[in-house]
Amino acid sequence: MEDFSLEPIKSIAVPATRRRTTGKPRRAGHPEAPADSRVSGMVGAPRRVAGPAAPAREHRYQIGQRLSLSGGGNRWARVQAVCSVVALLPHEGGPFLYRVRSEVENYERIVAEIDLTPVG
């Protein structure tokens, strides 16, 4: 049986210290940086101040309000009927959405605001 010892293996590790060989200046504020490299005050153009925010739009209809649901479209078959708003869905971009319950159907639908009109 051969004995494999680690003694013949030599370390080839490189020392972790580095020398700066070029004449590049150090970062401003570094203890060994030249005194004239330190910057004080504002540098560059000032930031733009944000203007007044646009008023946030809100849902047009409220929970419990009775509305007229427009009839079907190209994608969904739905009956034109009177419905009531069950919930206002959070706005995540795009149209405002409502959960409505029709008086002629046994289930609730999610409908865009554009498909609803006040009963009157």
CA 25 to chain CA centroid, Å, is 40
Q: Does the residue 110 lie in any domain?
A: yes
How many domains does the chain fold into?
Answer: 1
Q: Does the residue 36 lie in any domain?
A: no
Task: Please state, rounded to an integer, the average pLDDT across all residues of the chain.
Answer: 76
Give the residue numbers spanning the domain of 70. Answer: 66-118
pLDDT tens, 44-70?
A: 677 777 777 766 778 899 999 999 988
Q: Does the residue 39 lie in any domain?
A: no
Percent of the chain residues past pLDDT 70, beyond the cut: 57
Candidates 66, 61, 84; CA nearest to 120 is 66
- Residue 38: which pLDDT band, with cuts at 50, 70 and 90? low
Q: Does the residue 5 lie in any domain?
A: no
Contacts (Cβ under 8 Å, ≥6 apart) of 108: 86, 99, 100, 101
Dihedral sign, CA of 12, 13, 19, 21?
Answer: positive
pLDDT tens, 90-99?
A: 988 889 999 9
Q: Does the residue 102 lie in any domain?
A: yes
Q: Does the residue 2 lie in any domain?
A: no
Dihedral sign, CA of 91, 97, 98, 101?
Answer: negative
CATH number, position 100 = 2.30.30
